[in-house]
Amino acid sequence: MGQNYRNYLLFVVGINTGLRISDMLKLKVEDVKNKTHIYISEGKTGKSKKFFINLNLREDIDMYIKNMKEEEHLFQSRNGNNKPLSRSQVYRILNKAADNIDLDIENFGCHSLRKTFGYHHYQKYKDVALLQDIFNHSSPSVTLVYIGINQDVKDKSLQDFYL
């Protein structure tokens, strides 16, 4: 499969798991092949976490890894033998993709995938405590600030609220 599918899968895994880019880049085929969950020890916190691989993500992963060896990095760089993409390469890939679709977001980058996951997860389930746990944040307020639930959103929620 080509770089385009690698880049697509990088995006899809990021927005569907909420994993940090640094943790995603460590993944190898053996970490996802025939697995129901992605198990990691978070680089930033050192905590063990597991992330469910839903059916749609499973199909994308299986198609991508079909001809890969178990010891290969999931998101390989073209430079070197079985070397993962660097964080700066991921940043360039994401910025180029954002430019290609005229996404008007300044500094669309590595954290944008995790924040996108968080924002949409919160909008769907309205469970900040669950999201706080997924992200290993210290408080609900940290999680809400992180995913961009700002004053405008709070104001809008109060527009039609009257008891």
Structure-block tokens of residue 147: 């995913």
The pLDDT score that the predictor gives to residue 142 is 94
Domains in the chain: boundaries:
3-159
Query: In CATH, what is the architecture of 3-159?
Result: Orthogonal Bundle (1.10)
Q: Is the pLDDT of residue 105 over 80?
A: no
Structure-block tokens of residue 135: 């992200």
Mean pLDDT estimate for the chain: 91
Q: Three-state SS for 115?
A: helix
Mean pLDDT of 112-141: 94
Q: How far is the C-alpha of 83 from the C-alpha of 78, rounded, in Å?
A: 8
**Percent of the chain beyond pLDDT 70?**
94
Residue scoring higher pLDDT (45 or 13): 13
Whole-model pTM?
0.87
Mean pLDDT of 133-151: 90
Q: Which of 90, 140, 141 shows the shortest CA–CA distance to 113?
A: 90
pLDDT per residue over 52-88, tens digit each?
999 999 999 999 999 999 999 999 999 889 999 999 9
Mean pLDDT of 22-37: 97
Confidence bin at 104 (pLDDT 50/70/90): low
Q: Catalogue the active-site residues.
A: 20, 44, 111, 114, 137, 146
- Tell me, rounded to whole angstroms, the distance of Cα 159 from its chain centroid: 32
The pLDDT score that the predictor gives to residue 1 is 59
The pLDDT score that the predictor gives to residue 73 is 97
